[in-house]
Structure 1
Amino acid sequence: MSALPLAFGAPLLTADIRTVPEDFQVDELPAFEPTGEGEHLLLEIRKRGANTVAVAKRLAQWAGVPEMGVSYAGQKDRHAVTTQRFSVHLPKRVSPDVAMLESDEIHVLSATWHNRKLQRGALAGNRFKLVLREVRGDVAAIDARLQMIAERGLPNWFGEQRFGRDGGNVPAALAMFGGRRVRQDQRSMLLSAARSALFNRVLAARVEQDSWDRPLDGEVWMLDGSRSVFGPEPMSEVLAERLARFDIHPSGPLWGLGELRSTGQALALESAALADEQAVALRAGLEAAGLKQERRPLRLRPALLQHQWLQDGVLEMSFALPPGCYATAVLHELGAVNDASQAYSDS
């Protein structure tokens, strides 16, 4: 993230995050209510210092089912306290004792029957509470930057989690496109990383010209909270009003087969941002994999953004983000935030 441009000027702070897992709290916002019937046990679990995949494996062992019988809407950070849903397929509707799951890492908040398997992405968003420690910077300037983010939004970057340790997923994707064989789960991860890298390139070009939240000629629009797109069409007072109230957003490409939908200035910028040798190789690999052209909003507005200084040098922030958006994008606009968990995860 440190290599990406900033939308609001120079960085304002240095700080640490994840000094303890409680400094990074994430709660899934559910997209539906359980039906109370069916053969899928829907578990709401609070985990601390645990990987989502590891918890899913633990659930499979507990239930005596294959790992493919356990699903979740999205992966959550390990070095954090997070709440998320899992579903376990139990065709005989006999649930083992949930108390057997309790540990320092796992606490079951609820267990309810549901009639469908939990699908990836089946959440309304995520609510975050973050605590930054050892904050160094001008308090008034930091307060003003957060207020600006609340009012204007910020660039909708794909976060560093998408790119793996030391950004290694993009080189691995290039190697896969060059013929290296990988497991199916790795393939999906690497395709996502390649797409995300190309999107961030386009967004970086828009940030550098301060057009990430305003239209270019030939803009393709996305409806807020939806994958629906429309345009290009000439700018109008109606579009300007919808843009101002965050009903629509400018968009950038998620690469795949097909022609870019943008035209004019927007098309020229996207083409130029994706013209170097590495970008061309990533584009070709994604097309060969059969992915189709899609779009993603360039702009993100955190909902209910609030902050308070718990004491000198300790800043608490809370906000909610739509699915697929990253809290690290918010932190990026403030300055250099060091992930303190790396010190003990590497040891």
Structure 2
Amino acid sequence: MDLVYRPERYPFLTAGLPGVGGAIRLKPEDFQVEEVPAYLPKGEGEHLYLLLEKEGLTTREVFEFLRDEVGVPEKAIGVAGLKDKHARTRQWFSIPRTHEDALCLLENLRGVRLLEANLHTNKLRTGHLKGNRFRILIRGAQGREQAEAILRALAARGVPNYYGPQRFGLGGLNPLRGYELVKKGKGRGSPWLKRFLIGSLQSLLFNDWVALRLERGLYDRVIPGDWAKKHATGGEFLVEAPEEAERALRLEISATGPLFGKKYPEAQGEARALEDEVLRRYDLRREEFTARRGARRPIRVPLEEWNLEATPEGLWLSFFLPKGSYATSLLREVMKAEVDAPEGMEEGEEA
């Protein structure tokens, strides 16, 4: 029973296409991320939205600067998602308008530039984004045509929605710690830490479910009892009619997998049996996950706005992914190499 995250256990969707090799993140500017907000500030309201470009800093470090140096109360700071330290990233923060005069202090935070500031009527909250645009240099990559073939396949069938390595902690050990909490119901640490560790176990089980469906030829299919997601609207529904299979092949809908918890739509019949198969590997039961709410997550996500540029340094790859997905899941397909999480990555970045 292996509860340590090991990316090599998860199959590639494009296993029949050779990868381009290479390396990423050798320099921060090699990995560029731009947050795409769910909405833009209206120009009025009591919350000041800040578009910040940062390099060499985690989102948490910027958050702490706003709290400790600018003087914004922690609960009043808004952020939609976390972004990596080893990258050049652009993301939105929100603070109360009453702290506007102290923004000049941002000049003291090395590695941060204020690009835009505008007012809005509500605080920015986690998940208030459409997704992220990426521009990534794969240094030393060879084979533009190979990369293009892989990207065309991913655009047609969707990117496997595996959780990335930053979800699982140093050495991939967090799911094991989460398992001990689920089985014993107690352990050291804050309630937040316990939820986080159980979340890592949920993520490992989800990745196993994605891999199982890939191996069974059910990646771009829906079967009776699946809960499917409509990619255009985000709506979910129980699959009962056989004609839904055609919509799945067109990437209009996708099967969703479980993040086990106390309240989430449960699969039925044949689809539920696949989820049970994953649970049995680890001697787990659904009712042991009552510490988490639970949810469903699509097996794949659409690949949009992709582009390739060959340079002497390697291949520049640009693309958009919706929120909750990981660029590492796409990069491993293109490179045919496991993309590790460097020290300083935050759980949920790219998400």
Shorter-chain TM range is 0.7 to 0.9
- Correspondence for 1:95: 100
1:328 is displaced (CA, Å) by 0.6
**Secondary structure of 1:35's aligned partner:** coil
Change (3 A) 1:258 1:26: closer
Task: Please give the alpha-carbon distance, in whole angstroms, between the structure 2 residues aligned to 1:309 and 1:69.
Answer: 44
Residue 303 in 1 paired to residue 304 in 2?
yes
Aligned counterpart, 1:116 = 122
User: Counterpart amino acid of 1:296?
Assistant: R
Q: Deviations over 1:184-239 (max 9, x none)?
A: 43234223222211111111100112211112233321111555311221211xx3
| CA–CA separation in structure 2 for the residues paired with 1:340 and 1:222 | 29
Distance (whole Å) between structure 1 residues aligned to residue 229 and residue 64 of structure 2? 37
Q: What is the deviation of 1:257?
A: 2.5
What residue is the counterpart of 2:331 in the other structure?
A: 331
Q: Is this contact kept in 2: 1:2–1:332, CA < 8 A?
A: no
| Structure 1 residue 157 corresponds to structure 2 residue 162 | yes
Q: Sort the Cα spacing of 1:49 and 1:258 in 2 relative to 1 into closer, same or farther, 3 A.
A: closer
* 2:37 aligned residue: 30
Matching residue's letter, 1:298: I
Q: Please, which of 172, 181, 184 is the counterpart of residue 177 of structure 2?
A: 172
1:246 is matched with 251
Q: Which residue identity is paired with 2:15?
A: G
Q: Which residue of structure 2 aligns with residue 187 of structure 1? A: 194
8 Å Cα contact 1:21/1:79 also seen in 2: yes
Q: Is the 8 A contact 2:223 2:239 kept in 1?
A: no
Q: Distance in 2 between matches of 1:154 and 1:111?
A: 34
State the SS of the aligned residue for 1:16. coil
CA distance in 2, matches of 1:328, 1:305: 15
User: Does structure 1 residue 196 correspond to structure 2 residue 197?
Assistant: no
CA contact (8 A) 1:19 1:341 kept: no
Cα distance in 2, alignment partners of residues 191 and 71 from structure 1: 25
Q: Quick one: structure 1 residues 147 and 117, their matched pair in 2 at CA, closer, same or farther if it must change by over 3 Å?
A: same
How many angstroms does 1:325 deviate by? 0.5
Distance 1:245 1:211 in 2: 14
Partner in structure 2 of residue 291 of structure 1: 293
- Sort the Cα spacing of 1:168 and 1:284 in 2 relative to 1 into closer, same or farther, 3 A: farther
- Secondary structure at the aligned position of 2:178 is classed as helix
- Which runs of no fewer than 5 residues in structure 1 stay unpaired? none
Q: Percent of aligned positions with the same letter in both sequences? A: 35
Residue of structure 2 in register with 1:274 after alignment: 279
Matched-pair contact (CA < 8 Å) for 2:48–2:118: yes
Distance in 2 (CA, whole Å) between partners of 1:259 and 1:324 is 17
Superimposed CA distance per residue, residues 47-94 of structure 1 (whole angstroms, 9 cap, x where no aligned partner)? 11110001000111233133222121100011000111111135xx24
Q: 1:235-258 deviations in whole A, cap 9, x for unaligned? A: 11xx34433443211111121126
Please state how far the C-alpha of 1:30 moved relative to its aligned partner: 1.0
- Please report the TM-score for the alignment, with normalisation by the length of structure 2: 0.87
| Correspondence 1:313-332 to 2 at 5 A | 314-332=314-332
The letter for the 2-side match of 1:183 is: S
Query: Are residue 50 (structure 1) and residue 57 (structure 2) matched?
Result: yes
For the residue of structure 1 that corresponds to 2:273, the secondary structure is helix
The verdict on how the C-alpha distance between 1:208 and 1:244 changes in structure 2, with shifts beyond 3 A counting, is closer
Q: Using a 3 Å threshold, how does the CA distance of structure 1 residues 338 and 206 change in structure 2: closer, same or farther?
A: closer
CA distance in 2, matches of 1:111, 1:139: 39
C-alpha contact (below 8 Å) 1:17/1:340 kept by paired residues: no
Does the C-alpha gap of structure 1 residues 107 and 258 become closer, same or farther in structure 2, counting only changes over 3 Å? Answer: closer
CA RMSD of aligned residues (A): 2.4
Bigger shift: residues 77-86 or 59-68: 59-68
Aligned length: 333
Q: How far apart are the structure 2 equivalents of 1:29 and 1:76? A: 13
Corresponding residue SS for 1:275: helix
- 1-structure distance, mates of 2:264, 2:139: 46
